[in-house]
Amino acid sequence: MSVLPDMTRGSVTVIGDVMLDRFWSGASRRVSPEAPVPVVSVAGQDDRAGGAGNVAVNLAELGVSVSLVGLCGEDEHARALRDCVESAGVRWNVMPCAANTIVKLRVLSRNQQLLRMDFEESLAAHANDLFVRYAQQHLADADLVIFSDYAKGTLELIQPLLAHCQTLGKPTLVDPKGTDFERYRGATLITPNLSELEAVVGRCETEQALVEKASALRESLDIDAMLVTRSEAGMTLIQGDQPAQHFSASAREVFDVTGAGDTVIAVMAGCLSAGLAMPEAARYANHAAGVVVAKLGTASVTPSELQHAAAGSGPEIPDGVTGEEELTDVLAALRDAGRRIVMTNGCFDLIHPGHIRYLQQAAALGDLLVVAVNDDDSVKRLKGESRPVNTVQDRMAVLAALEAVDYVVPFAEDTPARLIERLAPDVLVKGGDYTVEQVAGHESVLSRGGEVAILDFVPGHSTTGLINRLND
């Protein structure tokens, strides 16, 4: 099972548009006699860091060492914003300028947003060469850099900053805005939502169209990866020549989407700074989004919340080895919790590097991996009387000990078609020279709208080859 990585050793610099999110709240029991609008008796005020500040606070909540770089005024709102940021443990490296601090004022009643008022002016005139040099001074100690673009002008000269990061060997994550994605050329990762992507590439009527258009855009801009957030449809990760990876939405209740994109990029950065691969980082980011949209206003996710969300809500199977009946119940609970279930099968008689890489690739296609294993009698029928070398109990124990594998279940038939139909995975994976039509169980998976993925085994590794070498 996944264990949340230790992010306390990571260091991230966040550069972008900083703003103050201010919330006025109170009861509303009547309509104004002057106009058909509710009257709110304001009883409380809550200030929170918004924009790039919210990204930084999200990172600090995860234990990451964070520096915030941006522009803001020298006024009461700037002081309130600084208090929000520093109280969360974020280093304040925001350069003062002659503009007023950007404020977004929201009026709430009964935890419902009634009105938002924006107090802002463009910061583009202040985002000059002086600011670029100022920002560059705060990059040396960062493991990676986030650019949080809210189109307020702070990142007017983002290209020199991206180029400087490349020179330093710092990965760069960009939360984009607007339709000019050319300005993000060379970034390591960009995280547009679906609307932002479609504003650039046109409508994506199908998942395939989304993947094709996003892949073409990624390649044209020399960007390593793109994570497209898709609201209730989850997220899609597009990375180089690897197959697109889709993550089902994990939120049970959507209460407020304010700042959800900030949380996504923050968790991505925290996980990457802790050494996780891009797909695993995206999986945690997806879980984090499901947590934060259930909170009111600009919010963050705690490590315990993230660990709980990633672990799922199904019954515990301590060692991962289970039977068909128990696993059916577990997967039903996990499916209800929005988890994307991947399944593969095989004999797995002698585990070799080809198996390890294959299982890692399979696990990256969803939230959890189920491995169905041929029992001893079915291996004999398929491989001959001398097989298996290891009993089914031993083979399952070894598989369950692998980090990529969540659950292991045996089956007695020559193919797992019946078991696949019962467990109903979202993604069915097979390796080798198969076509989709040759994969046992593909019909039931595809009929439910699932996917069948064919992965290549690592050449030069096979169980038969190992056995032959042992017998020589």
Instruction: Write the pLDDT tens digit of every residue in 33-68.
Output: 999 999 999 999 999 999 999 999 999 999 999 999
Question: Quick check: is 47 catalytic?
Answer: no
Q: What is the pLDDT of residue 17?
A: 97
Chain-centre distance for alpha carbon 411:
33
Residues of the chain with CATH 3.40.50.620: 324-471
Q: What is the pLDDT of residue 255?
A: 41
pTM, rounded to two decimals = 0.68
Among residues 18, 87, 49, 57, which one has the least CA distance to residue 270?
A: 57
User: Which of 17, 21, 149, 262 is flagged as catalytic?
Assistant: 262
Among residues 106, 241, 259, which one has the least CA distance to residue 175?
A: 259
| Rounded distance between C-alpha atoms, residue 387 and residue 428, angstroms | 26
Q: DSSP string spanning 26-42?
A: EEEEEE-SSSSSEEEEE
- Tens digits of per-residue pLDDT, 350-393? 888 888 989 999 999 998 999 999 999 999 999 888 889 899 99
Q: Model confidence at 294, in pLDDT bands (50, 70, 90)?
A: low
Give the type of residue at 55. V
| Rounded distance between C-alpha atoms, residue 461 and residue 72, angstroms | 58
Quickly tell me which residue has 């139909």 as its tokens: 421
Chain-centre distance for alpha carbon 430:
25
Name the superfamily (CATH) of residues 11-27+38-311.
Ribokinase (3.40.1190.20)
108: pLDDT strictly greater than 70: yes
What's the mean per-residue pLDDT of the chain?
88
| Rounded distance between C-alpha atoms, residue 290 and residue 260, angstroms | 9
Among residues 170, 172, 130, which one has the least CA distance to residue 154?
A: 130
Among residues 210, 67, 231, 36, which one has the least CA distance to residue 137?
A: 67
Q: Model confidence at 252, in pLDDT bands (50, 70, 90)?
A: very low
- Tens digits of per-residue pLDDT, 436-450? 999 999 999 999 999
143: pLDDT strictly greater than 60: yes
Candidate from 87-91, 336-340, 429-433 with smallest mean pLDDT: 336-340
Residues of the chain with CATH 3.40.1190.20: 11-27+38-311
295: pLDDT strictly greater than 70: no
Q: Model confidence at 313, in pLDDT bands (50, 70, 90)?
A: very low
| 3-class DSSP state of 287 | helix
What's the fold here for domain 324-471? Answer: Rossmann fold (3.40.50)
154 backbone φψ class: left, alpha, beta (φ>0; ψ -120 to 50): alpha
